[in-house]
Amino acid sequence: MNDLLQIIDSPADLKKLERHQLHTLAHQLRAYVLDSVSKTGGHLSSNLGTVELTIALHYVFDTPHDRIVWDVGHQTYPHKILTGRRDRMHTLRQQDGISGFPRRAESEYDTFGTAHSSTSISAALGMAAAAKLKGETRKSIAVIGDGAMSAGMAYEALNNAGVMPDCDLLVILNDNDMSISPPVGALNKYLARLMSGKFYATAKNVGRQVLGGVPPLFELAKKFEEHAKGMVVPATMFEEFGFNYIGPIDGHDLESLIPTLQNLKELGGPQFLHVVTKKGQGYKLAEADPVAYHGPSKFDPAVGLVPSTAPSKKSYTQVFGGWLCDMAAADHRLVGITPAMREGSGMVEFERRFPARYFDVGIAEQHAVTFAAGIATEGLKPVVAIYSTFLQRGYDQLIHDVALQNLDVTFALDRAGLVGADGATHAGNYDLAYLRCIPNMVVMAASDEAECRAMLTTAFLHDGPAAVRYPRGTAAASHAASGSTATLAPLAMGKGVLLREGPQAARSPASAPRVAILAFGSMVTAALAAGETLDATVANMRFVKPIDLELLRDIAQRHDLLVTVEEGSIMGGAGSACAEALCEVAIVRPFLHLGLPDQFIDHGDPVQLLARSGLSEEGIVTATRERLVQMARCEPTGAGELREPRLVVNNG
């Protein structure tokens, strides 16, 4: 049979197919997604589940004139393939390649960037309102996963849409009973109670007895049972919001999807379609374990994921998970909280060992922060495990509900700094800047495994809000004076440590300027290597707030150039903290701030991205030498004249 997928370069090509050909196309598209992701890595389970829905949407609606917003955007690989990017899928999530999420700059079919969840209904409603204001006729469609529906923002948008009956908005709930971690929430539990209740069980048994001898009626009753949760609760709930509710329908059945969407296309006002899909659909291994196949690295589809037999170093996420269990065993007051990232934040073992003290609040970061604040008011000690980029969503709660009340909440910030393939939307570039300006906050950056544990202990024992940031990936080997990887010993509050001393001879007019590198967190290893080349002093500052003013003052008084290095935003970050601290005590020294530039950094290999940002050993050395040359050109002589340029640094 002809490969239909190879002739589809746009939805216009898709519309030329006969309806019966769409089933073949779905099979080919699913196989292409599986083959493609197995070669590049990426999100798999969710994309295998949206194949038929994607085909049906582009077949029925006039895209991109009709707007489709996908939420969360990691389910859009079939959409990308059908909208002209099939032959670029081999570049997925790689440097200069296509994004793993919708991206407006990438395609006119990507109407809204949705790498974080629960924004689609708001965005699509805004598009619908704009179309009405401009006198344009078009549908705005939000495709939202059931995990994303747990966030309050989705319900805020539903509530708003219900009072805008003239806006042509279609919300499609892609219900696969699975976000990333297992689904949580009151609605899910209510449905479980309903289906397991005595009345329902009795009715079901009577139905079996009465209809068991009439196979067609018995099959009809079984289908009713399968979809009862949608018939009993969602219809009422969403219609109370002002939506016309339809469903649930099988999201893999094109013969149901296409006619339903065609009917909805003709209806005005807020419409709500509930479709039921299966993560990993069509690939048995992903169907059986959708969590493992949520975001796999490269693998052989014929074999599946194979555990590595090579000894592997601990990741920072694993370091946190081990510390959390150890501290929970030592202190019964510890409570662990995650916003739907049990696996990603390393809390699987903690949930197994301490289930009563484990809380997954769903994709609801704002609630997670204030929930932790409430727990802290009762004398317990909550630890919020959250990605740096996701804490941004709970920033108001962090300020008003935690810091303002000086409540004892520990924040474990995973994925701090660049994150590689997920790109700008998931990068934790801003936490140092947005945390250190908040009163009462303690902010630490871990440089290795032992230090990460010690910092987490320090934060936990501190009576007030504290955050520890650590990067994605393998934990660095322990540096000097970092502490033990097995104990729960804290660090001295607000104290950094010297790792390397540069030359300290008294300076003469002909001597080379003395350089000190002040490194934070993940940059300590590269800074140490650069320090060897430059023969510079190197300090692991450890604390961004409170900054170690005693160490900083001592270094400033003995050195001519201070180089700060951080894997975070230069603007307002740790380097700024150092400069501000010295300014307060009237010490003036030349600074070179190295960090992430004032721009969004795309997806790619993390090591290469850091090098491009000047945050490798070579980058630190080059930037320091360039600054020393600039200083030499501008250095005044005793007569008030400028000296001639001279290179004044050891070339190593």
CA distance 600 to 596: 9
Contacts of residue 405, defined as CB under 8 A and 6 or more positions apart, other chains included, come to 373, 377
> Could you tell me the two tokens for 179?
């976000």
**Residue 73 pairs with which residues in a beta bridge?**
none
Instruction: Give me the active site residues, please.
Output: 279, 365, 393
CA distance 512 to 650: 8
Is the distance from CB of 286 to CB of 293 less than 8 angstroms?
Answer: yes
Contacts of residue 167, defined as CB under 8 A and 6 or more positions apart, other chains included, come to 125, 128, 129, 131, 132, 140, 161, 269, 270
> Could you tell me the two tokens for 194?
């309903």
The β-bridge relationship of strands 381-387 and 591-596 is unpaired
CA distance 512 to 386: 45
Q: Residue 215 CB: number of other CB atoms within 10 A?
A: 9
Contacts of residue 61, defined as CB under 8 A and 6 or more positions apart, other chains included, come to 68, 139, 141, 261, 265
Instruction: State the SS3 of 492-541.
Output: CCCCCEEEECCCCCCCCCCCCCCEEEEECHHHHHHHHHHHHHHCCEEEEC
Nearest to 541, CA basis, from 513, 507, 489, 576 = 576
Nearest to 565, CA basis, from 512, 481, 603, 622 = 622
Is the distance from CB of 521 to CB of 610 less than 8 angstroms?
Answer: no
CA distance 530 to 615: 10
Q: φ and ψ at 641, to 5 degrees?
A: -100, 165
Query: b/e per residue, 258-278, with b = 16+ CB within 10 A?
Result: bebbeebbeeebbbbbbbbbb
CA distance 201 to 199: 5
Nearest to 447, CA basis, from 455, 457, 436 = 455
> Helices in 182-339 by DSSP H: which ranges?
186-196, 198-211, 215-226, 228-232, 234-240, 254-265, 284-288, 316-330
> Could you tell me the two tokens for 519?
């490194």
